Structures are given as structure tokens and as C-alpha cells.
């Protein structure tokens, strides 16, 4: 399964989670995820947020200390 398709499926699950009557929850996972893989063009990295959206990055840091780490990563890319 292509990495972007997997990432889209995870985000669709998060977006659709609160649509049924029995489960009203705004953020079913409550976490950001990094999904890494490989496609026909090479390595890929996607960042998902708790709201169910995703963005492709060359390099991405999340979690505690991510601001400093992201700055360092931007110097390398």
C-alpha cells in the first residue's frame, strides 16, 4: 500500500470518527503521527495532526523539544 494512501486512510478514520451517533469525539487519536515510507520517487514522510489532516515533509520533528530539532533539521534540508 502506498505511504500516502495509508496516511490518507488514517486521517479519514480520524475525520470520520465522530460522525456516528454512538461516538462523539473530536480527536480520536489525540496525537500527531509521523508516517514514513518509500514510493516510486524515493523516501516519503508525512505528518498527521489530531484533527485528521496531513502534510508531506522532507524532515519533521514532533513532540517535546521539536522546535529546536525542527530548526536543526531545516539547516540540513
The count of other CB atoms within 10 Å of the CB of residue 29 is 17
Tens-place pLDDT, residues 25-72:
556 778 899 999 999 999 999 999 988 899 999 999 999 999 999 999
User: How many domains are there within the chain?
Assistant: 1
Is residue 77 predicted with pLDDT exceeding 90?
no
**Which structural domain range is residue 10 located in?**
3-76
3-state helix, strand, coil in the chain (%, to 5): 35, 25, 40
In this predicted structure, what is the pLDDT of residue 21?
61
In this predicted structure, what is the pLDDT of residue 50?
86
Phi, psi for residue 37 in degrees, rounded to 5? -170, -160
Amino acid at each position: 500500500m502506498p505511504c500516502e494512501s495509508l496516511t490518507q486512510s488514517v486521517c479519514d478514520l480520524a475525520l470520520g470518527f465522530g460522525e456516528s451517533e454512538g461516538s462523539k469525539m473530536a480527536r480520536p487519536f489525540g496525537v500527531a503521527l509521523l508516517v514514513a515510507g518509500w514510493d516510486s520517487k524515493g523516501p516519503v514522510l508525512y505528518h498527521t495532526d489530531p484533527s485528521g489532516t496531513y502534510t508531506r515533509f522532507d524532515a519533521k520533528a514532533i513532540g517535546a523539544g521539536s522546535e529546536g530539532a525542527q530548526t536543526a533539521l531545516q539547516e540540513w534540508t
